[in-house]
Amino acid sequence: MDKIERRNRRKKSIRKKIIGIPERPRMCVHKSNRTIYVQIIDDVEGRTLCGLSTGGLGTGEKMNAYTRKNMNFARALGDGIARAAAEKGIEKVVFDRSGYRYHGVVKALADAARKGGLQF
């Protein structure tokens, strides 16, 4: 098995146990080679309640044109998704790491979201 197949296998195993309901939607994280994406999803209705990516962040700092997948952008993304969720009235979420290890940018994003007021 290669790296992607192992991650997809972990992702399926995690998704069997996690479901987003209206009272506690699912916060899903996805990483590409350049960008980090995070969405808050209600799985019962099948719709995205809010979402952000590091490509769409309006941070005042100088952005690296090649990659927006580092710790500073992950922290800004976690803070931004916490603010967007608060505007929608969402306080509690279920964290779906999508098979990625809880380490590095995924951990930084989660910690910043917790610090911003989300509970999971």
Domain ranges of the chain: 3-115
Q: How confident is the model at residue 41 (pLDDT cuts 50, 70, 90)?
A: very high
- Cβ neighbour number for residue 19 with a 10 Å cutoff: 15
Torsions phi, psi for 97 (to 5 deg): -85, 0
Q: Which of 5-9, 64-68, 78-82, 112-116 has the lowest mean pLDDT?
A: 64-68
Q: What's the rounded Cα separation, in Å, for the pair 65 and 43?
A: 34
Q: What's the rounded Cα separation, in Å, for the pair 116 and 44?
A: 26
Residue 40 has pLDDT above 80, yes or no: yes
pLDDT tens-place string over residues 57-92: 655 455 555 567 789 899 999 999 999 999 999 999
Q: What's the pLDDT at 69?
A: 75
Please tell me the CATH code under which domain 3-115 is placed: 3.30.420.100
